[in-house]
Amino acid sequence: MPVILNQEQMQIETSGEGWTKTTLADRNTIGTSAIAAQRWSFEPNSAGPEISHGSTDQLLYVIFGGGTVRVNGDTFALEREAILWLEPGDMYQFIAGEGGLEILQGYAPGE
């Protein structure tokens, strides 16, 4: 059976100066730990925290805007509709460009 979540069912999990991370789907909202989805929103020229998801691969999609991502000390350009694949253990940090940055993140968190 499909699960449909409306915006009011999604929660801002974390925020910092110029950015927010909203959990769109996880075990609590869709009833399975097979996949999780989050939305990162960055104001123009802001930077998020340096983080890692440990033992899981991640797929990230740039919804709009652009900027850069630092992965394990290397910097890569991000533009609208770019896809970024991260391997387990990668350390990463998003830095928004002048137009801001919005990213959809999907990963399998496991049990």
Matching residue, tokens 């869709």: 30
In a domain, 2, yes or no: no
Rounded to two decimals, what is the model's pTM? 0.85
Return d(Cα 78, Cα 101) in angstroms, integer. 9
In a domain, 34, yes or no: yes
pLDDT 10s digits, 25-83:
777 777 777 888 899 999 999 999 999 877 889 999 999 999 999 999 999 999 999 99
From 6-15, 92-101, 102-111, the region with the lowest mean pLDDT: 6-15
The DSSP bridge partners found for residue 64 are 102
Using an 8 Å Cβ cutoff, are 83 and 60 in contact?
Answer: yes
CATH of the domain at 102: 2.60.120.10
Return d(Cα 81, Cα 103) in angstroms, integer. 9
In a domain, 64, yes or no: yes
Through-space distance between the first and last CA atoms of the chain, rounded to whole angstroms: 22
